Structure 1
């Protein structure tokens, strides 16, 4: 790891940009390892170990778990900010417009970086439950309506299929 930090330091000098050490942090992913964590040194300053960090909008902690609640909340906020009052009202946006907004903006924000993070089946079930509940609400369908109907009426892929598609495109 220190070799990587030396390479980063050399590259930053060569291309004349500064690395903000106050925003740099490192987390130990395998806390069960018997080796004590080594000191990571960047530009002569020791980077203290941390329990969590965010890099390019991807939250990581020592457990390497996906924060599903935050992903769902981000999807909910994105949907309501895009659709506003037309989200659940019958006099709002057309169904095709809602489906296009959902597929283009909401799903990519919810699934951002999931193709590279380890996720569980419980995480997928929670994301799929949120998608189905929201799509039924958007289409004014009863809660007892079949899940495949809610998806196929709008032509939207299930979360699991979208995630597999993103992984294959990686």
Structure 2
């Protein structure tokens, strides 16, 4: 499979995953991040799917409120690095950032899909959690103008209730 078709397949899978996640609210996304992270800890094979088939099990995963807090902690830990990746241009990242900025012309689903693909390929994030993280960023900061998105995100880093 060529690199171009691999990238296209990655973008398609990412788009399908984030379309569903963008329908959830922030609290649901934090819970989902907690659930997926717990599932990965139990079975690492879960990490390779953009839409893993994981089920919440209170006996094994704990209370929903605890999973939500766990998801928030994971997000907070990653937020500054993600902001730097998507909003602080370096020469080596210029092509990826151009793709990301161009996605703003298409809409929030495309931005989240490109972000998901970049989190997997450039950040080394597990496909199981990357679309949840991307959906959270979009839910919290999306503005259809790339520069405004980055300004707003930079001002609000780690302001989670």
What is the TM-score normalised by the length of structure 1?
A: 0.27
Higher gyration radius (CA): 1
Greater RCO between the two (CA within 8 Å, min separation 6)? 2
In terms of fraction of residues, the more strand-rich structure is 1
TM-score (norm 2): 0.28
